[in-house]
Amino acid sequence: MPKITFYPDNKEIETAEGVSLAEAAILAGIFLPSPCGRKGVCGKCKVVVRTGEVERKPEGLLTQEEIEKGFVLSCQTIPKTDVTVDIPPSARPTKEQILKETSKIHLERVLSKVKEIEMPKPSFPHSPLVTKIFLKLPIPTLDDHISDLDRLSRGLAKDIKVDLNTLRQIPTLLRESNWEGTIILDREGCLLSIEKDDARQRNFGLACDVGTTSVVVQLIDLATQVILDTEASYNRQLHYGADVITRIIFAKKEKGLEKLHSLIIKTINDLIQTLMDEHRISPNEITAVVCAGNTTMLHLLLKVCPTYIRLEPYIPTFSFSPKIKACEIGINIHPSGVLACLPNVASYVGGDIVSGVLASGIYTEDKISMLIDIGTNGEIVIGNKDWLVCCASSAGPAFEGGGIGCGIRAMDGAIQKIEITSNCEMRHSMIGNVRPIEPAFEGGGIGCGIRAMDGAIQKIEMDQLDYEVKYSTIGNVRPIGICGSGLIDTLTELLKAGIIDRAGNIREDVPTERIRRAGDGLEFVLVKKEESGTGEDMVITQADISNLIFSKGAIYTAASVLAKKMGFQLQDIKKLYIAGGFGNYLNIEKAIMIGLLPDIDRDKLQFIGNSSLAGARLCLLSQEAMKKAEEIGKKMTYIELSADSDYMHEYTASLFLPHTDIDRFPTAKRN
C-alpha cells in the first residue's frame, strides 16, 4: 500500500493500490478543488509530486513548464510507490470569504467566530419547532391510576402523540425523575423525550443554509429567539464537483450517493461541533434543525436519489420532505431532535428560494418585485402578494471561480477588485495641419466621423501600450487567483480599456506585451509572476472571457424572459432583491456595465444577504412562518427555460457586453 505525504499539511496516509492522489487527499481530510468532479478537465486539482513514482494519464491542461516542475492533475494520477506531494497555494483552503448573513466575514479553515450578530426583527409569533415544558405530575395512587401517557396528557392539558421508542422509555424516565421533569415536544404535540430536572433554559436550535459551495449554520436560543453565533465552511462535496449536475452524475456511481451524503453531514457536524465547543453546549441541548437548500442539496442531505432531477421531464423525488429525527441522517444533536427542510418548488428551484421569498417579504407586497439569487444555479422569482412565478438559469460556476483558469473561490489571496489603466502617447496628423476635428473615414454612421476635409484626423500612431493593473486581494496578501467579484471587475475593465470588444474578443491589434497567444487563443496577463503568490503569471484567457459572458447572459436572460412572460419589462419592477453570498460582494455598476443585472433605477435594488439562512431561522422559531413557507412553495409556478424558444433567442442576444441591444443599458451607452 503506497504511503502518501501531503505538504504543507504534513499529513500521511496509506491507500490501496489504484487510488488516485485526489481520493487519497479526501481520505486524509485535505481539500483539493475539483469543479469538474474528478474528470480531469478543469485543471484545478493540480499538485506537485516531489518524490516517488506515479502513473498519470495524458495531462493536456498542464504546460510543458509545469510538467517539468513535477505538476500533475491529482485526479488523474495514481501512486506506484511512496510519494511526497506539495499542494500549491491556489489549491489550499486557507481562508474563505463566506456570507454568513448580512456581514462580510473572512473564515479560516479552522472555523472562526462571528463577533457581532444582529438581532432579527421577528415578523411571526414565537412558536419554535421544539419546546421544553417543566411538569410536576401527581404520583399515581390506587385512586388515581390512569396510565403514564394519560397522566402526561393531563398534565399538559392536551393530547400528546408518541412513537414506539419513546413510549418504551416513559415508565423508567418518569419514575427515575420522581414524576417531575422537562417534557420535550414538537409543534404537532409529539413527545420527543423527558429530561430530569428543569431544563427549560437550555433549549437550542440550528438554522442551516445547505449551499452548493458553502454551508452556514446558525445557533439560536429557542426560548429567547437570540442568535448566539454563526459558523460557515465550504461544502465538502466540492471534492466531487462545483455544480449540482456534476454531483448528480457522481451520485449515480457506485457508492457515489453515500459519499456525497457523508460529506455534507460531516460538513454540518463539524460546524455544529465548533458552535457547541464555543458556547459549552452539549448535543442533547440542541433539539431542532431547519435546513434550506436547493433541490439537489436537500436530496443529497437526506440521501435520496437525485438522478431524475437532471433527466427530462426533470422530476425530483420530493417537494415537501417529511419531518424526521436528525439522528436518522447522522446529524449530531439530541437523539430525538427534529430536522425539517423548507419545501422545494421544482428540480432547480429549491427550499433556499422559498426561504428567500419568505425572508424578503415579496409574497406580501402589492407591487411587482423580483428576487435574483446569483450562484452556480441562478434562481429568479417575480411576483407579489397575489402570484409568484419562478425559473432557474444554468449560470455555471464561473462567478465562483469554476471553469476559469485563474478563478478561485473567495479566499485569502483572491483578487476581489481590479482596475486597469493605460499609459500611452497617441500621435495624429490632420488634413490642413489645423486643430483636429474628428477622424476621417467616410464618416457616415460614425458619431465622430466626418468627410476628408481640413481639420479631419487622417493618421493615428499609437505607441506600445503599457497597462497598469491595480488590484486588491482578500487578506491583503499576494494574489493566487481571482474570485467572482474580481472577475466582474476584470471583464468590465477589459472592456473599458479597449482590450476586448463588445463581443468579448481580445483585440490582437492592441500593441501591448500583456496580450499574447497561448494554446488555442489569446490571453491577457493580469498579474506578472514576480508579483503573484504562485510564482506564475495570472492570466485571463479568451475561453475564460467566453465562460463569464455565457454565465452573465444566462442570469440576465432568465430575468428578462421571466418578466416578459408575465407581461412586464424589467424596468417595470418596483423592487429587485439580490440574494446569495456572491451577490453581496458585487460592484453594482460594473455588474450592470457587463449586462449581468438590468440597468434600472439604483434605488430599486436591494441586497438581502443570505436570505436562505434568514428564512430557515424564521421557520425554526415560528410555526406560522413554516406554514407560510409551505404556502409559498405551493403557490409558486415554475417555468422550465431549458427548451424555451424565447429564452434561447434572447440568450444569444445577451452574449455581448452588455447586450446586443445597447438601448437596454443606457448607462453603458453613455459611457
- DSSP string computed for 120-182: P---S----SEEEEEEEPPPP-SSS---HHHHHHHHHTS--EE-HHHHHHHHHHHHHTTTEEE
With CA atoms as reference, report the closest residue to 257 among 302, 291, 219. Answer: 302
Assess whether pLDDT exceeds 90 at residue 637.
yes
pLDDT over 90 percentage in the chain: 57
pLDDT at 425 over 70: no
Residue indicated by cell numbers 432547480 = 348
pLDDT at position 131, please? 95
- DSSP H or E stretch at residue 547: helix 542-565
Supply φ then ψ for residue 556, to 5 degrees: -60, -45
Whether residue 652 has pLDDT greater than 60: yes
Which residues have C-beta within 8 Å of that of residue 522, sequence separation ≥ 6? Answer: 506, 508, 515, 516, 541, 542
pLDDT of residue 94: 53
Please say if the pLDDT value at position 106 is more than 50.
no
Q: How much is the pLDDT for 651?
A: 93
Mean pLDDT of 276-281: 96
pLDDT greater at residue 361 or residue 111: 361
Helix (H, G, I), strand (E, B) or coil at 528: coil
Residues paired with residue 346 on neighbouring β-strands, in sequence order: 349
pLDDT band at 247; cut points 50, 70, 90: very high
pLDDT at 104: 36
- Burial per residue of 103-118, b for 16 or more beta-carbon CB atoms within 10 angstroms, e otherwise: eebebeeebeebeebe
What does the pLDDT read at residue 118? 38
d(CA 654, CA 503): 10
Least confident of 10-14, 60-64, 228-232, 499-503: 60-64
pLDDT in tens, 476-491: 999 999 988 899 999 9
pLDDT higher at 581 or 147: 147
Q: Are 584 and 482 in contact (CB under 8 A)?
A: no
Average pLDDT, the chain: 86
Per-residue confidence band for 499, with pLDDT thresholds at 50, 70 and 90:
very high
Cβ-based neighbours of 142, under 8 Å, separated by 6 or more? none
State the pLDDT at residue 103.
39
Measured distance CA(128)–CA(126) in Å, rounded: 6
Three-state DSSP state, 376 = coil
pLDDT reported for residue 388: 97
Question: Is a pLDDT exceeding 70 seen at residue 334?
Answer: yes
Of 73 and 375, the structure prediction assigns the larger pLDDT to: 73
Q: What is the pLDDT of residue 116?
A: 31
Which helix or strand (DSSP H or E) is residue 27 part of? helix 21-27
Identify which of 307, 303, 297 has the alpha carbon closest to the alpha carbon of residue 262: 303
The per-residue pLDDT for 271 is 96
How far, in Å, CA of 281 to CA of 475, rounded?
A: 32
Across 233-237, 347-351, 428-432, 651-655, least confident range: 428-432
Answer whether residue 365 shows pLDDT above 90.
yes
pLDDT score, position 110:
27
Residue 47 has pLDDT above 60, yes or no: yes
pLDDT band, very low/low/confident/very high, at 80 (cuts 50, 70, 90): confident
And the C-alpha cell for 22? Answer: 485526489
Nearest by Cα to 108 from 48, 37, 31: 31
Residue-wise pLDDT for 190-215, tens only, equals 999 998 889 899 999 999 999 988 89
Model confidence at 13: pLDDT above 80: yes
Site of grid cell 432557474:
392
Confidence of residue 405 (pLDDT cuts 50, 70, 90): confident
In this predicted model, which residue has the larger pLDDT, 18 or 202? Answer: 202
- DSSP-derived 3-state class of residue 54: strand
Look at residue 451 and tell me whether its pLDDT is greater than 80.
no
Count Cβ atoms below 10 Å from residue 429 Cβ, excluding itself.
11
Question: Residue 431: its pLDDT value, please?
Answer: 67
Grid coordinates given for 73:
492533475
Enumerate domains of the chain plus CATH numbers: 3-91 (3.10.20.30), 131-196 (3.10.20.880), 203-341 (3.30.420.480), 355-397+549-670 (3.30.420.40)
Task: Tell me if 607 sits within 8 A of 356, measured CB to CB.
Answer: no
| pLDDT higher than 70, residue 421 | yes
Q: Is the pLDDT confidence value at 187 over 80? A: yes
φ, ψ dihedrals at 219, nearest 5°: -95, 130
Q: Strand 161-162 relative to strand 190-196: parallel, antiparallel, unpaired? A: parallel
Q: Which strands, in side-by-side order, build the sheet including 180-186?
A: 130-136, 180-186, 190-196, 161-162
Report the SS3 class of residue 41.
coil
In single-letter form, the type of residue at position 612 comes to S
Which of these, 76, 74, 10, 77, lies nearest to 47 by C-alpha position? 74
In angstroms, the CA 583 to CA 606 distance is 10
pLDDT value of position 128: 96
Residues 6+ apart with CB under 8 A from 485: 410, 416, 417, 582, 585, 586, 587
Out of 11-20, 169-178, 326-335, 419-428, the most confident range is: 326-335
Q: Which of 607-617 are b and which e, b meaning 16 or more Cβ less than 10 Å from the residue's Cβ?
A: bbbbbbbbbbb
Bridge partners for 378 per DSSP: 393
Q: pLDDT higher for 271 or 108? A: 271
pLDDT band at 122 (very low <50, low <70, confident <90, very high): very low
Long-range contacts of 565-572 (CB under 8 A, 24+ apart): 565/389, 565/639, 565/646, 566/382, 566/383, 566/389, 568/368, 568/382, 570/370, 570/598, 570/600, 571/598, 571/600, 572/368
pLDDT tier at 112, thresholds 50, 70, 90: very low
Q: Quote the pLDDT of residue 456.
A: 67
Q: What is the CA radius of gyration of the chain?
A: 29
Torsions phi, psi of 546, nearest 5?
Answer: -60, -45
Is 147 within 8 Å of 155 (Cβ atoms)? no
Buried-exposed string 493-521: b where 16+ CB fall within 10 A, e elsewhere: bbbbbebbeeebebeeebebebbeeeeee
By CB neighbour count within 10 A (0-12 exposed, 13-18 middle, 19+ buried), where does 477 fall?
middle
Angle at the Cα of 75 from the Cα atoms of 269 and 15, rounded to 5 degrees:
70
Q: Cα–Cα distance between 316 and 311 in angstroms, integer? A: 10
- Checking if the pLDDT of 111 tops 50, the result is no
pLDDT attached to residue 76: 87
Amino acid at 58: P
pLDDT of residue 8: 84
pTM, rounded to two decimals? 0.83
Q: What pLDDT, on the 0 to 100 scale, is given for residue 504?
A: 94
